[in-house]
Structure 1
Amino acid sequence: MTGHSTRECRPLRFGIVAPVTTDMPTWRDQLRGLADSGYSTILMPDVPQWQPAPGPALAVAATVTDLRVGTWVYASPVRPAWITAWEAHSLSVLTDGRFEMGIGTGRPGIAEQLRELGLPATPVGRRSSQVREVITALRDLDGPDRHTPVVMAVGGPKAQALAAEFADTVNFVMPQTETRAATKQRVERFDNRRGAELALHVPVIGDSVAAFMAGPDTDPAAVRAADSLAFLPSDPAAAAEEIQRRREELGFSYFVFGAGVAGALAPVVAELAGR
Structure 2
Amino acid sequence: MDFRFGVVAGKAPSGAEWAGTARRAEELGYDTLLIPDTLNTFAPFPALAAAAAVTSTLRLGTYVLSAPNRPPGLVAWEAETLQQLSGGRFELGLGGGRPGAERDAEVLGAEFGTPRARIERVAETIAAVRKLDEAPPVLLAASRPRMLRLAAAQADIVALGLRPQATEPELARTVSVLRDAAGERFDEIELHLNVAAVAPSPAEIPPWASRMVGGDARAMAEAGGIAFLTGSAERIADLLCRRREEFDVSYIGVSGLFMEQFAPVVELLRNA
Same fold (TM over 0.5): yes
Q: 1:215 to 1:36 in 2, by over 3 A?
A: closer
Q: 1:98 to 1:209 in 2, by over 3 A?
A: farther
Report the CA distance between 1:249 and its aligned residue. 1.2
Does 2:249 correspond to 1:259?
no
Q: Which runs of 5+ in 1 are unaligned?
A: 1-9
The equivalent of 2:69 in structure 1 is 78
The equivalent of 1:3 in structure 2 is none
TM-score between both structures, scaled by the size of structure 1: 0.88
The equivalent of 1:183 in structure 2 is 171
Q: Which protein has the bigger helix share?
A: 2
Report the CA distance between 1:188 and its aligned residue. 1.4
Report the CA distance between 1:132 and its aligned residue. 0.5
Does 2:33 correspond to 1:42?
yes
The equivalent of 1:240 in structure 2 is 237
Identity %: 36
Q: 1:148 to 1:253 in 2, by over 3 A?
A: same
**Matched pairs, number:** 261
Does 2:195 correspond to 1:197?
no
Asked if the contact 2:62/2:93 (under 8 Å) is kept, the reply is yes
Counterpart Cα distance in 2 of 1:51 and 1:177: 24
Does 2:49 correspond to 1:59?
yes
SS at match of 2:267: helix
SS at match of 2:261: coil
Counterpart Cα distance in 2 of 1:130 and 1:214: 31
TM-score between both structures, scaled by the size of structure 2: 0.89
SS at match of 2:123: helix
- Letter of the 1:63 partner, please give it: A
Q: 1:272 to 1:183 in 2, by over 3 A?
A: same
SS at match of 1:22: coil
Matches within 5 A, 1:37-186: 37-48=28-39, 50-66=40-56, 67-142=58-133, 146-186=134-174
**Per-residue CA shift, 1:49-97, capped at 9, x if unaligned?**
x232110111110111121111011011111121112111221122121
Deviates more, 1:177-186 or 1:230-239: 230-239
SS at match of 1:108: coil
SS at match of 1:265: helix
Counterpart Cα distance in 2 of 1:239 and 1:100: 26
SS at match of 2:132: helix
Counterpart Cα distance in 2 of 1:204 and 1:52: 22
Report the CA distance between 1:216 and its aligned residue. 5.4
Asked if the contact 1:18/1:44 (under 8 Å) is kept, the reply is yes
SS at match of 2:260: coil
- Letter of the 1:251 partner, please give it: D
Counterpart Cα distance in 1 of 2:100 and 2:42: 20
Report the CA distance between 1:227 and its aligned residue. 1.5
Structure number with the bigger relative contact order (C-alpha 8 A, sep ≥ 6) is 1
- Letter of the 1:82 partner, please give it: G
Report the CA distance between 1:209 and its aligned residue. 8.1
Q: 1:209 to 1:173 in 2, by over 3 A?
A: farther
